[in-house]
Structure 1
Amino acid sequence: SVYSRLTLNTNGVLQRLTWNYRTQEWVVYLNVPADNCDHYSLCHAYGSCIIGNSPVCGCLDKFVPKSQKDWDRADWSSGCVRKTPLDCQKGDGFLKYIGVKLPDTRNSSFNESMTLDECHKVCLDNCTCMAYANLDIRAGGSGCLLWFGDLVDIRQLPENGQDIYIRMASSELSTQDGSNRKKGEKIKIILPLLAGMLLVGLSLTLYVWKRKKKQKQKQQELLNREGRSLELIDAHMGDSCYLSEVLRSIHVALLCVQQSPEDRPSMSSVVLMLGGDGTLPQPKEPGFFTKRNLFFEAETSSSNNAAMSVNDISITQLDAR
């Protein structure tokens, strides 16, 4: 069996001690309060205690110290008050606070069968109702817990906290809703602008890339026509390659990028051209023009399909090697 005893020291701390048979001495098992925020109503009305903050007491959002001078001296006994006083006749609302230890329930009532929406309506219709919450948070929450009068003994919990809805003036809620609405409108405006700017940037990048590619192809064609194909070779490779092979490769490459697909050699022809020493046909205009030369294509097409035989019966045609 385990022997334990309770003691209340001069500081008001309740301790539970258990007897350790091995060391033959009493060992502290539990302290109440466990920390500074565990002291009852340390921050008083509408104040929230947060362990780790300095000072530990602060007012809930939309609340201010009732006496700023007292709070500056770390005297929180006056508690906090709303920035905007309630006006039940003009219509109040509720602001949600999450992750807290619920206030003292001395001035409260509960109903186990009501839903949270029904709880909201009951509290809203009663001007003396200051807050409401779920009675049981298990399985998504159930029941209704109502507070009447000031809320005391609230603390912020790092985990396993509950949600509470505190009565606020309608002007405070409309300010918050208006701020959220403005943020939403800004996002709706900014997102299309960003998408448009991104699209324009991509289009401009693609245009510049295509233009540089066309200019490079045109430069290669001009150099080849003027017999300056050697200028296409990288200066660092000039001494490490066979110029005849490089020139032949450039010539074949220009044949492969001609404007008309009918004029371009097949892959088998490309292999034969690169591996042989025969005379290569003169390349025509490469396909860097944006408009198609319909007359040129018609001429090429008709020349390719023309019969090479003396009579009209033969099917002999001219094909590239």
Structure 2
Amino acid sequence: MKIGWNLKTGLNRQLSAWKNWDDPSKGDLTWGVVLGTTPELVMWKGTTEYYRSGPWNGERFSGKTTSLFQLEFVSTNDELFYTYNLNKDSSLITRVVLNESAYSRQRYNWIPENQTWRLYSSVPRDYCDNYNLCGAYGNCLVNESPPCECLTGFKPKLSRQWEALDWTEGCIQSEEWKCREKNRDGFQRFSGLKMPDTTKSWASGNLTLDDCRVKCWQNCSCAAYANLDIRGEGSGCQIWFGDLMDLRVASVPGQDLYVRMHTSSTGSSNKTNSSEESSKRGQRKKLVVAIPVSFLLVLMIVLTFIYLYWRKRKLREKIENISQERGDEARENKFELPFFEFDTIVRATNNFSSDKRLGQGGFGPVYMGTLIDGKEVAVKRLGHMSGQGVREFKNEVILCAKLQHRNLVKVLGCCIQGEERILIYEYMPNKSLDSFLFDSSQREILDWPRRFNIIFGIARGLLYLHQDSRLRIIHRDLKTSNILLDNELNPKISDFGIARMFAENQIEANTKMIAGTYGYMAPEYAIDGRFSIKSDIFSFGIILLEVVSGRKNTGVFYPNQGFNLLGHAWRLWKEGTPMKLVDACLGDAFTVSEVLRCIHIGLLCVQLHPEDRPNMSSVILMLNSENNTLPQPKEPGFLIERMSINEAGKTSSDENKINSSTNEITDTLLEAR
């Protein structure tokens, strides 16, 4: 049998559970292969990820135990699937089922002597197999109590919750590393781990492990790296971006993960000290002992340096005290926003009560508040544990003070007191666009006229940012959750924490620290760190296609051409059936020419090369006019490819096919667990 995809027909072979042993209608539990940079076996409860096998490493899925079976993973131009054959006893009869009542994938073997089926194995196997039990950078050890601990060099993000056995918030770095700064960040090797969730990863079969380390170190968003294929001495490269999710001690050792952290935690820097350098240090020590005069000279220099440093520090403290006395006035002049007292915010939010909480932003929670005059506001409180948050907070304050437009969320003021950093926004009662668009109970409220109005409003807001405001602003994190809706469902762009200002004649810029949301990032930004107004255009194109279809770009897989919404839309366009993309809940209540034009514009916005994408003034012109002949779109960028699998560890002269298999034999798993 095969579990996986027929890439030519789009057939997805997966298992679905019965509702119960007597009712064969489809239950909530499904099990199949997820396509991405490195495929994995995943089990879902409904739409929630429940269990993950870990990525294929050339021998097995990294979180899977050994068995009586020969496991095989096959990737060709036509198919991508996982299968198994008997290793030891060709007469053995075995079957695999999904058990809805036990929420597990179970394997049974037939026992001829007893004429019964005996349970051989089951996943999830134990508590640690539950998806992401210990949160980001949390490692699950099934034989420990409690089972969750932070990786070496990390600490609980919220200590009280962690002590109360709530590990959902995970861990953060004990000491923040500085990207690419000499002798500040390095890598710690962890052995025998199940590899992290590969949703935010990149892979290549052509790089060595040393090349992989260099590539990861040069990308400030890279959190870890490992070999793609562990056979022999290992080959290929896989790197992870963002937080490392769903870690546990694997039941089968053999794969190392190299996690980025500050050198004080790794005990080493990026450069390994050579024996020659060690010898030189030894010689210097001997020299100090042998020549007391030199030692005294060095001591005098050090004492002089300490004295000068002390004088400089005292002077700086004096200047800071003077500046602090004038702080309120200086902040008012700099930020150009009204300042609120912290006590006022505490009263407005009932001391940041949980029942006032609206959601979680990129750098902290957002609360609903009511001011003394009865005005409702949204209060964004910067999280104390957010290392980069202060910079983003100041960035957002300065930008929002200068930006005023009907399709941008209005910032009413801010609060700075001690470690507290707070922004006060106008309150949006309908929350964000994604809460309507991807909710089966809410999406029908968004009929086509409302959806078109939302598309047009977002376009007007972007035009203002890119062209009509006093500053040229690149948002860099445009997505449906950052589009808020007012009482009349009019869209307002929010969250300018990572936005960047451009000079009037500036076209693009580069960054070492890539920030944003995967699935909305333009390829040139996600891969090379290059951003411009055209990277915002790409994000707008993704949002436009999501609004038309009512489906997310990522997290849902489609047959053929990319296996995400973007690839699905491109395939329908090439086949001449783009109207199949339209959200089914709209029925026939829409203008065909208007919807078709929106799909056309969306595909123009997501073209691979930035120079091919239109600017926002052209987009608005195309949205306004039904008579314009639009150019034909070229192939989109950032489709999910299978190149990492096809490049990894080729074992055949056939360039289009790889058969990676291993014989895993043990006699210790014959009893049910």
TM-score normalised to the size of structure 2?
A: 0.25
Asked if the contact 1:7–1:15 (Cα under 8 Å) also holds between the matched residues in 2, the reply is: yes
* 1:134-169: CA deviation from partner (whole Å, max 9, x where unpaired): 111221111111101111111124652311111112
Q: In structure 2, give the amino acid aligned to 1:41.
A: N
1:293-304 pair list within 5 angstroms:
none
1:140 pairs with 2:233? yes
Question: What is the Cα deviation at residue 26 of structure 1?
Answer: 2.9
CA separation in 1, counterparts of 2:266 and 2:98? 48
After superposition, the Cα gap between the structure-2 partners of 1:62 and 1:27, relative to the gap in structure 1 and judged at 3 Å, is: same
1:6 pairs with 2:97? yes
Which secondary structure state, in structure 1, belongs to the residue aligned with residue 228 of structure 2?
Answer: coil
After superposition, the Cα gap between the structure-2 partners of 1:120 and 1:175, relative to the gap in structure 1 and judged at 3 Å, is: closer
Matched with 2:147 is 56
* 1:177-197: CA deviation from partner (whole Å, max 9, x where unpaired): 9xx9xxx99xx9xxxxxxxxx
Q: Relative CO higher for 1 or 2, CA cutoff 8 Å, sep ≥ 6?
A: 2
Matched with 1:86 is 177
Query: Gapped runs of 5+ residues in structure 1?
Result: 189-321
Which secondary structure state, in structure 2, belongs to the residue aligned with residue 4 of structure 1?
Answer: strand
After superposition, the Cα gap between the structure-2 partners of 1:125 and 1:80, relative to the gap in structure 1 and judged at 3 Å, is: same
Asked if the contact 2:177–2:262 (Cα under 8 Å) also holds between the matched residues in 1, the reply is: yes
* 1:246-287: CA deviation from partner (whole Å, max 9, x where unpaired): xxxxxxxxxxxxxxxxxxxxxxxxxxxxxxxxxxxxxxxxxx
Question: What is the Cα deviation at residue 90 of structure 1?
Answer: 2.8
1:69-218 pair list within 5 angstroms:
69-88=160-179, 90-91=181-182, 92-157=185-250, 159-173=252-266
After superposition, the Cα gap between the structure-2 partners of 1:8 and 1:174, relative to the gap in structure 1 and judged at 3 Å, is: same
* 1:215-241: CA deviation from partner (whole Å, max 9, x where unpaired): xxxxxxxxxxxxxxxxxxxxxxxxxxx
Question: What is the Cα deviation at residue 3 of structure 1?
Answer: 5.9
Asked if the contact 1:5–1:18 (Cα under 8 Å) also holds between the matched residues in 2, the reply is: no
Q: Which of 67, 74, 78 is 2:158 aligned to?
A: 67
Q: Which of 132, 137, 141 is 1:46 aligned to?
A: 137
CA separation in 2, counterparts of 1:89 and 1:134? 22
CA separation in 2, counterparts of 1:172 and 1:22? 57
CA separation in 1, counterparts of 2:111 and 2:187? 52
Which protein has the bigger strand share?
2
CA separation in 2, counterparts of 1:18 and 1:120? 44
Query: Gapped runs of 5+ residues in structure 2?
Result: 1-90, 283-673
CA separation in 2, counterparts of 1:3 and 1:158? 23
Asked if the contact 1:94–1:168 (Cα under 8 Å) also holds between the matched residues in 2, the reply is: yes
CA separation in 2, counterparts of 1:6 and 1:137? 30
Displaced runs of 4+ in structure 1, greater than 3 A?
18-22, 170-177
Larger Rg: 1
Asked if the contact 1:135–1:143 (Cα under 8 Å) also holds between the matched residues in 2, the reply is: yes
Matched with 1:311 is none
Matched with 1:213 is none
* Identical-residue share of aligned pairs (%): 43
Q: In structure 1, give the amino acid aligned to 2:198.
A: T
After superposition, the Cα gap between the structure-2 partners of 1:89 and 1:54, relative to the gap in structure 1 and judged at 3 Å, is: same
CA separation in 2, counterparts of 1:76 and 1:11? 24
* 1:46-73: CA deviation from partner (whole Å, max 9, x where unpaired): 0111121111111100111111111112
After superposition, the Cα gap between the structure-2 partners of 1:89 and 1:109, relative to the gap in structure 1 and judged at 3 Å, is: closer
CA separation in 2, counterparts of 1:132 and 1:150? 12
CA separation in 2, counterparts of 1:174 and 1:53? 26
Question: What is the Cα deviation at residue 174 of structure 1?
Answer: 5.5
